[in-house]
Amino acid sequence: MDKIKVGVGMSGGVDSSAAAYLLKMQGYEVIGITMKLIDDEKTDISIKDAKDVCDTLGIKHFVIDLKDEFKNIVINNFIESYKKGITPNPCCVCNKYFKFGLFYEEAKKLGCEYISTGHYAYIDNNKLYRGKVLEKDQSYFLWGINKNIINKVILPLQDYTDKEMVREIARKAGLSVNSKKDSQEVCFVPNDDYKSFLNDNLDVLPKGGDICLKDGTVLGKHNGLMYYTVGQRKGLNISYKEPLYVIKLDTVNNKVIVGSNEELFGRELIAGDINLLVDVIPDKVYAKVRSRGLLKPCTVFINDNKMKVKLLEDERAITLGQSVVLYDEDNRLLGGGIIEEVI
């Protein structure tokens, strides 16, 4: 009887490498597939690491060049968002269109029935849930995937509760990446330096303007809206009788509006580009507006691919361009959208 063929998204890191090993041990026919999304030395090293792991496991390794698609869909969206005073979340876009989109299509071309990644989340009975270890949970970034492929996704790390356990798996399997550090930065932004990246990729640098209070009182000057984000305190270079934070980026008047910490809190937002993984939103719903944020009870109203979310508790620094992600009381991922307006 033929083995079931699974394509593993191999990033060259320990999580995806351990996932490939576990699947092979479970009896699947495993192939490693690495998407080349950018052209730099770090990517070349990751591809080599992925190939070394596949060679150690005795499985085939394929590299798929998707640099043009990645630039058009992810990088350009990142740049355009910042130009508009919006703080994007490129990992959500990448997961939707690449890791669970184009990757799935390419894996099918290679004869795979399933795809797999090293994400920390949980799939049960064709339903996607938060990971068992909430500080490692990555379900927040998965709200945009097509619900029709969830039954084609295997997450081998979903039962592991500690990263050191995963590293130990890689060590015992003889995988060279067992001690490789986790990447905490956006893959295409060198050294996590957003300002330099944006400066290097803009034809025209942004115009400076006023930093002011809501009443119009000017306190200083900014260098361009794209260098600021809601909730920011450091780097404002202004003095005032109390600590001030960015509470709004006024793109119409090119102003950075600052205020007290109390002014950062809100409860209502409107999201667009929504994607639902369920047919009906349950009565009890919880929302997260940032990956490390807490679940807050809420009510949800959906109309014409727009979603109004009313939180029942205050939330700090709700930010345009970030994702609002919905869960039920059992931690099932219900869907999400991109925050377009804070009410």
Residues taking part in catalysis: 94, 187
Phi/psi for 59 (5° steps) reads: -120, 160
d(CA 176, CA 10): 14
CB 87 within 8 A of CB 81: yes
What tokens were used for 305? 């691919």
Amino acid at position 228, single letter: Y
Helix axis angle, 41-57 to 14-25, nearest 10°: 20
Q: Which positions ≥6 away from 283 have C-beta within 8 Å?
A: none
d(CA 296, CA 124): 24
Amino acid at position 256, single letter: V
d(CA 235, CA 16): 37
3-state helix, strand, coil in the chain (%, to 5): 30, 30, 40
